[in-house]
Amino acid sequence: MAVDQTERVLWPHFLSRLREAFSLDAMSGPEAQDMAAMQAHIIRPKTLSLSEQSRLKATVDSLPPKSVADFLLSVCIKHGVDIFFYFDQAQVIDELDQFYSNPMSPLRSDPSFICLLLGIFALGSHWTPLERPNNLSPTLQTEECDPGRVFFRQAKLLVPDIIERSCLRSIQACFLLGVCLMPLSAVKSSYIYMGLALRKALTFDLHQSSDDQMLDEREREVRHRLWWSIYSLERCTTIKLNRPRSVDAGIIKAPLPTPLPSLDRAQKFDNIQLQIAYARLITILDRATDSEAPSTEAAKPTGSANAEAKLREWKKSLPEDFDLESINPRDSRYRAVFHLYLNYYYAWIAIGKVSLITAVRTTLQHHLGQESQPLRIDGAIERLSKSCTKAARKLLQLFEDLTRIRNTARFSFTDFQGCSIATIVTLIAGIIERDSTYESRVTFGLNCLRDMAAGNLTAKVGVRFVETLQAISNEAAHKLRQSGTFSDQLEEGIESLQPSAYNDWAAWLASQHQPQTNIFDSTVEQVTASKPEITSRERSAPDADLCNLQNTDEDAGWSGLEPLSTTRLLMQQPTTVSEPLVMPENDFTSTIYRDDQSFLIGLTGLDMLDFAGYSNQLD
């Protein structure tokens, strides 16, 4: 699909409709042709300035050799595409061949394509540890820092050149850069790039159901898939970070993605069913969170029954092959399906979070206030509270299975926040109810978080937040049980890439001689190196192996962090770092001392629970 074909001229169509409205011949007159020609001249790509040409040439000259480029593209498709549509895989593979084989290719002078390519390389770099041969030891360049930064730094220089370009590639490039930045700065840089991609998509009318005759079926479907991927991820992220919605769902007219054999057969990783399932899930989550937004009636959620029914219907509608037990753990589909279920259970938590906190606070106030009246909790609140707690348990079981098959990755924003919110909900529910598996579930959750946080100081401080919440939960639970009026009610209840390709990539990266960042500044997703041996894929009971996750590769960074006091957590004051933790002068200590406090709250999921928003209603 040629990108310039998507630069639609709407005047003829508009004037034709206007003539029909006034009972005139539907055929547009010659004036429409003149206006179309004028508009086509306006939107024609402008000639690059000398500075832009120089910047672009320097970027092209710094790109890796073809073997490394092929490797990174393959890794991006295999591990990074997940449940989204970033680009037409067959088209990009073909364009990459043209780019490297033809020195005169127009792609070499297209800043949008170059920026898209850099975004693909950056995202692929995040996942290269998953392709490291077993007999090859990790190196500092490939494992202990973010190798994708070398590409992001180059892409960032080209953003001014593409920001006003009206083409799909410029939208895709901004989208990919936003995805790449999520682990490091979900509420800052990533949020900005994601918002930029969303607004460019709106400007390009991707949210509309186009009836432009200049677009064929394939082009329309590409537009729909790209829109729903951008919108769904951006909306899901704003919900998880407790940020305001960017787009009113009512303006979206683009239909959900649909299978198109001519397009799907050409994809190296055909994930169309995953795209459809994710888009449908986010529409449910979107409506559910709107109905559950804190208000004067926050303690009595409305519309939850409909959201619950929709979620159950969504789960029943999933294809039979979306069963994690039947998918090869090394298949591209495994983590993609895992993320579908992660967001499904997250939706249940989002629906029931207000009810859970209401139930816990009401119970505490009743017993600690020595009230004589019987404890009364609304039936709907109690039901939603239990659903929220059950979803957290299921979510931790997902991570237990992921750990057992040695398929965890670090550092992933989605994975870390999912595990964190499940652990936090378990801790909150544990104030009033602790069964025989409670301690093992909490221990597993914290160990899993520590494991995923290795190599990223921001995430490690996030773990400290959760640990401090554990102390708060224990203190509240102890105080409740000391009241003398409370008693527990226990409930029992794929084909691999060639190793030589990885070697080429590692050798090229080492040759770049870029300044090495500190180990704690890493955002690279790494396969955990020290995991228990896997002898069976059988699912265990919740309390069987939850404590088996050992952190034998803990580094000195943990000892350098002081425990967070309860007061300091609640006040959200800067967290101090003790002397042994030495940080480079240009490191991102801002993640501890400045505005990244909001990232820490969002990263752990505490922001999504929005305690401050409930305080007035629940007092």
pLDDT digits (tens, 9 = 90+) for 157-167: 999 989 988 89
Structure token pair of residue 505: 């990539």
One domain for residues 2 and 142: no
Which residues are CB-contacts of 15 (< 8 A; sequence separation ≥ 6)?
Answer: 28, 29, 31, 32, 35
One domain for residues 222 and 117: yes
From 281, 307, 332, the end of a domain falls on 281
Host domain of residue 115: 51-281
Does residue 148 lie in a domain region?
Answer: yes
Convert 271-306 to b/e letters by CB count within 10 Å (16 or more is b): bbbbbbbbbbbbbbbbebbeebebeeebbebeebee
From 230, 251, 281, the end of a domain falls on 281
- Which pLDDT score is estimated for 223? 96
Q: Which residue has the higher pLDDT, 531 or 110?
A: 110
Structure token pair of residue 238: 């704003």
Residue 586 scores a pLDDT above 50: no
One domain for residues 108 and 253: yes
Q: Is 179 helix (H, G, I), strand (E, B) or coil?
A: helix
Q: Which residue has the higher pLDDT, 451 or 146?
A: 451
Residue entry with tokens 């953003």: 159
CA-to-CA distance for 253 and 220, rounded, in angstroms?
13
- Which pLDDT score is estimated for 330? 86
Q: What is the pLDDT of residues 254-306, one digit of tens each?
A: 999 999 999 999 999 999 999 999 999 999 999 888 765 544 454 444 567 88
Which residues are CB-contacts of 511 (< 8 A; sequence separation ≥ 6)?
Answer: none
One domain for residues 27 and 57: no
Please give the average per-residue pLDDT across 33-46, as a whole number.
58
One domain for residues 15 and 95: no
Q: What is the pLDDT of residues 503-528, one digit of tens each?
A: 787 778 777 755 544 433 443 344 44
**Closest of 336, 347, 340 to residue 409, by C-alpha:** 336
Does residue 26 lie in a domain region?
Answer: yes
Does residue 44 lie in a domain region?
Answer: no
Structure token pair of residue 18: 């206007």
Residue entry with tokens 């002081």: 562
Within 10 A of 478 (CB to CB), how many other CB atoms are there? 10
Does residue 244 lie in a domain region?
Answer: yes
Q: Which residue has the higher pLDDT, 20 or 155?
A: 155
One domain for residues 609 and 466: yes
Please give the average per-residue pLDDT across 102-107, as a whole number.
94
One domain for residues 79 and 144: yes
Q: Which residue has the higher pLDDT, 312 or 585?
A: 312
CA-to-CA distance for 250 and 244, rounded, in angstroms?
15
Q: Grade residue 444 by pLDDT with cuts at 50, 70 and 90.
A: very high
pTM, whole model, 2 decimals? Answer: 0.79
CA-to-CA distance for 451 and 605, rounded, in angstroms?
17
Q: What is the DSSP annotation of 468-512?
A: HHHHHHHHHHHHHHTSSS---------PPPPHHHHHHHHHHHHTT
Whether omega before 152 lies within 30 degrees of 0, making that bond cis, reads: no
Q: Which residue has the higher pLDDT, 345 or 6?
A: 345
Residue 606 scores a pLDDT above 70: no
Does residue 407 lie in a domain region?
Answer: yes
- Phi, psi dihedral angles at 294 (to 5 degrees): -55, 135
Mean pLDDT of the chain: 78
Structure token pair of residue 29: 């007159």
24-28, 311-315, 365-369, 483-487: range with lowest mean pLDDT: 24-28
One domain for residues 431 and 549: yes
Percent of the chain at pLDDT > 90 equals 44
Q: What is the pLDDT of residues 85-101, one digit of tens each?
A: 999 999 999 999 999 99
- Which pLDDT score is estimated for 554? 43
- Which pLDDT score is estimated for 25? 72
Residue 206 scores a pLDDT above 80: yes
Q: What is the DSSP annotation of 25-62?
A: -SS--HHHHHHHHHHHHHHSPPPPPHHHHHHHHHHHHT
| Cβ atoms of 441 and 464 closer than 8 Å | no
- Which pLDDT score is estimated for 219? 93
Residue 43 scores a pLDDT above 60: no
Does residue 40 lie in a domain region?
Answer: no
One domain for residues 225 and 353: no
Q: Is 577 helix (H, G, I), strand (E, B) or coil?
A: strand
- Which pLDDT score is estimated for 42? 52
Does residue 39 lie in a domain region?
Answer: no
Helix (H) or strand (E) holding 345: helix 332-368
Q: Grade residue 126 by pLDDT with cuts at 50, 70 and 90.
A: confident
Q: How many domains are contained in the chain?
A: 3
Which residues are CB-contacts of 189 (< 8 A; sequence separation ≥ 6)?
Answer: 181
Q: Which residue has the higher pLDDT, 218 or 550?
A: 218
One domain for residues 96 and 26: no
Within 10 A of 448 (CB to CB), how many other CB atoms are there? 27
**Closest of 506, 488, 510, 489 to residue 497, by C-alpha:** 506
Residue 547 scores a pLDDT above 80: no
Q: Grade residue 19 by pLDDT with cuts at 50, 70 and 90.
A: confident
Structure token pair of residue 197: 């991609």
- Which pLDDT score is estimated for 24? 77
- Which pLDDT score is estimated for 138? 59
Q: Which residue has the higher pLDDT, 369 or 60?
A: 60
Work out the burial of residue 199: count CB atoms within 10 Å of its CB; fewer than 13 is exposed, 13-18 middle, 19 or more buried.
middle
- Which pLDDT score is estimated for 234? 95
One domain for residues 109 and 195: yes
- Which pLDDT score is estimated for 584? 38
**Closest of 189, 227, 237, 175 to residue 205, by C-alpha:** 227
Does residue 424 lie in a domain region?
Answer: yes
Residue 425 scores a pLDDT above 70: yes
One domain for residues 265 and 410: no
- Which pLDDT score is estimated for 541? 38
**Closest of 181, 255, 267 to residue 225, by C-alpha:** 255
Q: Is 322 helix (H, G, I), strand (E, B) or coil?
A: coil
